[in-house]
């Protein structure tokens, strides 16, 4: 009987940790550091949550030596109702930067991801830094 109780406690303890990705909130669950990039990036998953939760996506994007083109980073996720999107854009006007923080409700099993697009064939590089934190 004591062994059975111990087994039940162990299983409950292990399963409690499976409901959250963090022991304490907020915590960083994904990050990307991409300096000196020159090409587009197709959709790339940052995180596929095991459980639904609220996340903060912080983005900093910078570029230099533009000739009229534009780089943009798009972030996709799925909330409880539908797929969602937010965009960070760097115009091609010399040295420029853009930053944003987006709070999202992400559904378990659907990736939070990003992609980088260009317009007007930019001939300059960009730097992209992303941090994803789980808030709850």
Indicate whether 55 belongs to any domain: yes
Q: Are 111 and 29 in contact (CB under 8 A)?
A: no
Indicate whether 12 belongs to any domain: no
Indicate whether 16 belongs to any domain: no
Residue 88 pLDDT exceeds 80:
no
CATH number at residue 71: 2.60.120.660
Range of the domain at 85: 24-134
Q: What is the pTM of this model?
A: 0.76
Indicate whether 11 belongs to any domain: no
Indicate whether 17 belongs to any domain: no
Indicate whether 5 belongs to any domain: no
Q: Are 133 and 28 in contact (CB under 8 A)?
A: yes
Indicate whether 13 belongs to any domain: no
Indicate whether 106 belongs to any domain: yes
The domain total for the chain is 1
Identify the band that residue 82 occupies on the pLDDT scale cut at 50, 70 and 90: confident
* 96-135: pLDDT as tens digits: 778 889 999 999 999 999 999 887 766 778 899 999 999 9
Mean confidence (pLDDT) of the chain: 80
Q: How far apart are CA 73 and CA 20, in angstroms?
A: 28
Q: pLDDT value at position 95?
A: 63
The answer for residues whose C-beta is within 8 angstroms of residue 46's C-beta and 6 or more apart is: 30, 32, 111, 112, 113, 114, 130, 132
| Backbone torsion region of residue 39, taken as left when φ is above 0, otherwise alpha when ψ lies between -120 and 50, otherwise beta | beta
**Token pair of 62, please?**
């910078």
């Amino acid at each position: 009987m004591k062994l059975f109780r111990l087994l039940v406690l162990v299983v409950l303890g292990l399963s409690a940790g499976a409901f959250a990705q963090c022991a304490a909130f907020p915590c960083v669950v994904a990050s990307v550091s991409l300096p000196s990039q020159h090409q587009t990036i197709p959709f790339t998953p940052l995180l596929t949550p095991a459980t639904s939760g609220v996340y903060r996506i912080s983005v900093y994007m910078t570029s230099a030596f533009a000739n009229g083109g534009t780089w943009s980073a798009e972030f996709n996720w799925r909330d409880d109702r539908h797929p969602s999107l937010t965009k960070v854009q760097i115009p091609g006007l010399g040295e420029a930067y853009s930053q944003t923080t987006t709070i999202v409700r992400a559904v378990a099993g659907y990736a939070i991801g990003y992609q980088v697009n260009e317009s007007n064939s930019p001939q300059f590089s960009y730097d992209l830094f992303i941090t994803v934190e789980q808030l709850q």
